[in-house]
Amino acid sequence: MSLSLFDLTGKRALITGSSQGIGHALARGLADAGAEIVLNGRDTAKLDQAAADLRDRGATVHTLAFDVTDAGAVRAAIDGFEEATGPIDILVNNAGVQHRAPLEDFPPEDFERLLRINVTGVFNAAQAAARHMIARGRGKIVNIASVQTALARPGIAPYTATKGAVANLTKGMATDWAKHGLQCNALAPGYFETPLNQALVDDPDFTAWLCKRTPAGRWGKVEELVGTCIFLTSEASSFVNGTTVFVDGGITASL
């Protein structure tokens, strides 16, 4: 009985930015838990390759190419998919970017780009999906936050601002939509080995600092995010709403 709470059989999950990295790992994990998967990205070739990987694992997979910053395109894609294929039961808002520079020299155009993708993109996809979920009286939304939701580090102040905004936007989603049967939560990874972090992974000084700073003493592996994501997208979290769950090896718990 208890294990059935985590079963996603019969559910359909859209994961934005899921052709690689954390998004693709979460798609694999949700598929292994029984979900039908909808992959999203802007590069159709990378999407097709990612879809083939999941199909090789036995998953049922669709691809839906759109840019999360284009509200009209997001709504058209999600509305069209719902009409042609069926309901999206789960949305994982994973699409995001990073840009590193000293704050005093940070290019304004890159600040705006981070806001558009990391915050507005979450709003666009959540709003488009929630309109259908509200009509059905159920739905799961998981927004990917970050250890930077709680902590800052030199050179990434705008990214930190966007991930703080994701946590508060998640609270707002829960406040507005819980009464309609939706659970809206955030998953906040710590430092994981991903393409987004490759420059840091390859920096021996940074890796040494990270391993000393993190109680677990290492980089995270993307597969270690899957369990929390399954929890937040399954019936196991039916009364969990508006919270941010940190999966970070203890880095936000210690000085």
Cβ-based neighbours of 44, under 8 Å, separated by 6 or more: 63, 65
Helix H or strand E segment including 12: strand 12-15
Q: 242 — phi, psi (to 5°)?
A: 75, 15
CA–CA gap between residue 125 and residue 75 (Å, rounded):
7
- Assigned token pair, 197: 């972090």
Residue 252 exposure: Cα atoms within 13 Å on the Cβ side: 16
Give the C-alpha separation, 251 to 215, whole Å. Answer: 6
Measure the CA–CA gap between 245 and 61, rounded to whole angstroms: 27
From 66, 81, 159, 177, active-site residue: 159
> Are the C-beta atoms of 22 and 94 separated by less than 8 Å?
yes
Dihedral sign from CA coordinates of 163, 195, 254, 154: negative
Is residue 159 annotated as part of the catalytic site, yes or no? Answer: yes
- Name, in order, each residue with C-beta under 8 angstroms of 248's C-beta and a sequence gap of 6 or more: 147, 188, 189, 190, 191, 214, 220
Range list of β-strands (E), 88-222:
90-93, 139-144, 182-189
Which residue shows structure tokens 């490759």? 198
Give the catalytic positions in this structure: 159
